[in-house]
C-alpha cells in the first residue's frame, strides 16, 4: 500500500508537469491530487505500526478503521478547495490563472495546517508505537536514524512553506524529496530491528543436523547445514548429473532447484560393509557345515532386516500423507519468490516435519512396549507447539497422567495432527489437556480458528462443539487401559 501510494504520487507529479499553462484547471487539480498520497501515507504507516509484533492472522479492531475518516475528510476538503479556499487561497479573481500556483503567490488556509498536523502527528505516533513494540534493537547507537529522517522531513516542509532559499539546495522537487525521506524512515526501521523482516535462514541451516547445502547456479555455497563443508563448484555440476561416492561410504547427491542446486550426503557405509562381509564370507566358507551355519546366521540377519523393513514400511504407510504434503510444501517453497509467503510455507514445513519425526518415534516405542511414560507423548506435543511459533500460534499442553498405552498415545497424536493440519491456515491458538476419568482417557482440545472441524472430529469419533466466541471445543474419549 505504501509503495502504491508513492508510485501514484510520482505518476501524478509527472502528469502535472506535462500539462500546459493554457489548461489552468487541469494543472490545479493535478496539484490537488498530490494530497491523496500525502494524507494516506502517514495514515497507512500508523496502521503498519499497529500490526507490528502481531500474529499472522491478526485483525485490527473495527474502531481503529475510523482513523481513515479524518484522512478522507481532509482529501475531500483539498479536492473541493475551489469552492471554499480553506486549504489554498488565491488572489481575488486569479483562481483560473496558472501564475497564481507558484510558491509565494498563493496563500494557505486553516485546513492546510490541519493537513500538516495530521501528517506529522500520524507519522510521529507510528514511530513511537514501532519503538515501544520493538523487542530487540540491533544497533542502539543508530536508533536516531528514523527519527532523524522524520526531523529532516519536518525541516524541509518548513523551508518549503516559508519559501526559504536553502530548501532548493536539498531538492526543489517536493514529491521526490518527501518520498525519499519517507522510504528512509521505513528502511531504517527495518535495518535496525524496529520492524521485523524475513531473516535468519542461515541460522536455520546451521542449526540442523542434516548434512546438506544450497548453492547458486554457479555452484557457490549460499546456505549449509551444521558440520557440512562447502563443495567445490566443479563437483557441484558433476553431482547434479550423477551422484558420486566419497570417502568412508558417503554418497553425494544433488538436484537442481529454482536459482541453484541442493546437495546432500548419505552414509552408505553400513550397506557397503554388509556387501563386503558377504563377499568375504563366500570365499572363506569352504566346508559345508560352516556354509550351513553361515547361511543360518545370514537368515537370521535377513529376518532381522525384514523386521526392520516392516517397521520402516509401517512408518512410511502411517506418514505417507504427511510425506506427500512435505514434498509439496518444499517444492512450493523453492518456487515461491514472495518472502512473506515463503515464511508461511516454511512454518508448515516444520510442523509437518515434526509430526513425521515424532510419529515415527511413537511407532518404534509401540513395537517395544504396550505402555510407556506420558513424557514421550508430551515431547511430541511440545515440539509441535514450538514449531507452530513460525505460524504465530499460541498454544498450551497440560496433563495429569503418568503413563499411557501405546495405542491410545498414537490415536491421540494422530487426532491432534489432523486438527492442526486442517486448521493451520487460520489457526491462532489452541490448548490441549489430557486427563483420566475412571478407566478412560479424555483428550480435551480448545482450538481458535475459522475452519469447520466437525468432519475431522467425526472421522476420529470425537465430539465437536463451537463456542459462542467462534472457538472449537473438541473431546476424544479412549479406553485408556490400566494406566495411572
pLDDT exceeds 50 at position 461: yes
Give 170-222 pLDDT, tens digit per residue. Answer: 556 777 777 777 777 777 777 766 776 655 556 666 666 667 778 888 888 87
Q: Measured between alpha carbons, how far is 356 from 350 in angstroms, rounded to an integer?
A: 10
Residue 290 lies in a domain: no
List of residues 6+ apart from 386 with CB closer than 8 A: none
Q: Where a domain ends, among 162, 191, 220?
A: 191
d(CA 401, CA 55): 32
Using the 3D structure, point to which of 241, 269, 297 is the last residue of a domain.
269
Structural domain tally of the chain? 3
As a whole number of angstroms, the distance between CA 211 and CA 213 comes to: 7
Question: What average pLDDT score do residues 133-143 get?
Answer: 66
Which CATH number covers residue 402?
3.30.565.10
Residue 416 domain flag: yes
Domain that holds residue 133: 2-191
Phi, psi of 20 (to 5 degrees): -75, 160
* Whole-angstrom distance, CA of residue 38 vs CA of residue 119: 8
DSSP annotation of 144 reads H
Buried b (16+ CB within 10 A) or exposed e, 60-69: eeeeeeeeee
Residue 326 lies in a domain: no
Residue listed under C-alpha cell 558417503: 250
Q: Which residue has the higher pLDDT, 484 or 280?
A: 280
- Exposure letters 230-264 (e unless 16+ CB within 10 A, then b): ebebeebebbbeeeeeeeeeebbebeebeebbbbb
**Domain match, 33 and 90 both:** yes
pLDDT given at position 350: 84
Q: Read off the pLDDT of residues 240-284 as tens digits, 9 standing for 90 and up.
A: 888 888 877 788 888 888 678 888 788 888 887 888 888 877 777
500474529: which residue's cell?
55
Tell me which of 269, 300, 326 is where a domain ends.
269
pTM for this predicted structure: 0.40
Alpha-carbon Rg for the chain, nearest whole angstrom, is 33
Contact 463, 440 (CB under 8 A): no
Asked if the structure places residue 332 within a domain, the reply is: no
Alpha-carbon distance of 416 to 431, in angstroms, equals 11
Burial (Cβ within 10 Å: 0-12, 13-18, ≥19) of residue 183: middle
Q: Which residue has the higher pLDDT, 176 or 69?
A: 69
Position with higher pLDDT, 98 vs 46: 46
> Residue 166 above 60 pLDDT?
no
Q: CA-CA-CA-CA torsion for 406, 412, 416, 421, nearest 10 degrees?
A: 60
Q: How far are the Cα atoms of 217, 415, 481 from residue 355, in angstroms, in the given order? A: 33, 12, 25
Whether 341 maps to a domain, the answer reads: no
Residue 463: the pLDDT is: 93
Q: What angle do CA 392, 394, 395 make, to 5 degrees?
A: 135
Lowest pLDDT segment from 40-49, 174-183, 319-328: 174-183
pLDDT of residue 304: 65
Q: Is 325 within a domain?
A: no
Whether the pLDDT of residue 137 is over 90: the answer is no
pLDDT, one tens digit per residue, over 7-28 is: 877 787 778 777 777 787 787 8
Percentage above 90 pLDDT, the chain: 7
pLDDT at 484 over 50: no
Average pLDDT, the chain: 79
The answer on 183 and 207 residing in a single domain is no
Same domain, 36 and 140: yes
- Across 103-131, average pLDDT: 82
Pair 175, 110 in one domain? yes
28 vs 14, 21, 32, 83, 333, CA distance in Å?
Answer: 14, 10, 6, 13, 49
- Mean local confidence (pLDDT), 119-137: 78
Number of other CB atoms surrounding residue 374 within 10 Å: 18
3-state helix, strand, coil in the chain (%, to 5): 60, 15, 25
Amino acid at each position: 500500500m505504501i509503495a502504491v501510494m508513492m508510485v501514484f504520487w510520482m505518476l501524478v507529479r509527472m502528469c502535472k508537469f506535462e500539462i500546459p499553462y493554457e489548461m489552468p484547471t487541469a494543472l490545479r487539480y493535478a496539484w490537488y491530487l498530490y494530497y491523496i498520497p500525502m494524507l494516506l501515507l502517514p495514515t497507512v504507516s500508523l496502521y503498519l505500526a499497529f500490526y507490528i509484533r502481531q500474529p499472522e492472522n491478526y485483525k485490527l479492531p473495527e474502531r481503529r478503521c475510523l482513523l481513515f475518516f479524518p484522512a478522507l475528510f481532509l482529501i475531500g476538503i483539498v479536492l473541493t478547495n475551489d469552492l471554499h479556499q480553506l486549504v489554498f487561497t488565491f488572489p481575488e479573481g486569479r483562481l483560473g490563472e496558472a501564475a497564481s500556483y507558484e510558491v509565494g503567490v498563493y496563500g494557505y488556509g486553516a485546513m492546510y495546517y490541519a493537513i500538516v498536523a495530521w501528517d506529522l502527528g500520524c507519522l510521529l505516533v507510528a514511530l513511537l508505537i514501532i519503538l515501544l513494540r520493538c523487542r530487540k534493537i540491533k544497533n542502539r547507537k543508530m536508533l536516531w536514524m528514523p527519527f532523524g529522517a522524520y526531523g529532516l522531513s519536518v525541516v524541509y516542509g518548513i523551508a518549503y512553506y516559508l519559501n526559504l532559499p536553502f530548501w532548493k539546495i536539498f531538492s526543489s522537487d517536493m514529491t521526490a524529496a518527501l518520498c525519499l525521506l519517507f522510504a528512509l524512515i521505513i528502511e531504517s526501521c527495518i535495518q535496525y530491528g524496529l520492524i521485523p523482516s524475513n531473516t535468519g535462514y542461515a541460522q536455520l541451516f546451521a542449526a540442523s543436523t542434516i548434512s546438506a547445502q544450497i548453492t547458486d547456479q554457479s555452484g557457490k555455497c549460499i546456505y549449509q547445514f551444521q558440520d557440512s563443508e562447502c563443495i567445490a563448484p566443479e563437483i557441484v555440476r558433476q553431482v547434479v548429473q550423477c551422484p558420486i561416492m566419497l570417502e568412508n561410504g558417503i554418497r553425494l547427491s544433488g538436484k537442481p532447484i529454482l536459482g541453484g542446486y541442493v546437495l546432500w550426503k548419505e552414509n552408505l557405509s553400513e550397506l557397503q560393509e554388509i556387501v563386503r562381509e558377504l563377499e568375504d564370507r563366500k570365499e572363506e566358507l569352504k566346508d559345508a557345515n560352516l556354509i550351513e551355519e553361515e547361511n543360518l546366521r545370514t537368515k537370521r540377519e535377513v529376518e532381522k532386516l525384514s523386521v526392520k523393513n516392516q517397521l520402516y514400511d509401517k512408518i512410511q504407510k502411517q506418514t505417507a500423507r504427511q510425506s506427500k504434503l512435505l514434498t509439496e510444501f518444499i517444492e512450493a517453497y523453492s518456487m515461491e519468490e514472495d518472502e512473506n509467503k515463503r515464511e508461511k510455507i516454511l512454518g508448515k514445513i516444520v510442523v509437518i516435519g515434526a509430526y513425521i519425526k515424532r510419529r515415527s518415534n511413537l511407532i518404534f516405542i509401540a513395537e517395544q512396549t504396550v505402555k510407556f511414560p506420558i513424557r514421550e507423548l508430551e515431547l511430541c506435543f511440545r515440539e509441535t507447539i514450538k514449531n507452530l511459533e513460525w505460524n504465530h500460534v499460541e498454544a498450551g499442553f497440560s496433563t495429569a497422567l503418568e503413563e499411557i498405552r501405546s495405542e491410545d498415545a498414537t490415536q491421540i497424536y494422530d487426532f491432534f495432527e489432523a486438527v492442526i493440519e486442517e486448521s493451520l491456515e487460520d489457526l491462532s491458538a489452541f490448548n490441549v489437556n489430557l486427563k483420566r476419568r475412571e478407566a478412560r482417557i479424555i483428550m480435551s482440545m480448545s482450538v481458535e480458528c475459522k475452519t469447520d472441524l466437525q468432519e475431522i472430529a467425526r472421522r476420529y469419533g470425537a465430539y465437536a462443539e463451537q463456542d459462542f466466541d467462534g472457538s472449537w471445543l473438541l473431546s476424544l474419549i479412549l479406553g485408556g487401559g490400566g494406566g495411572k
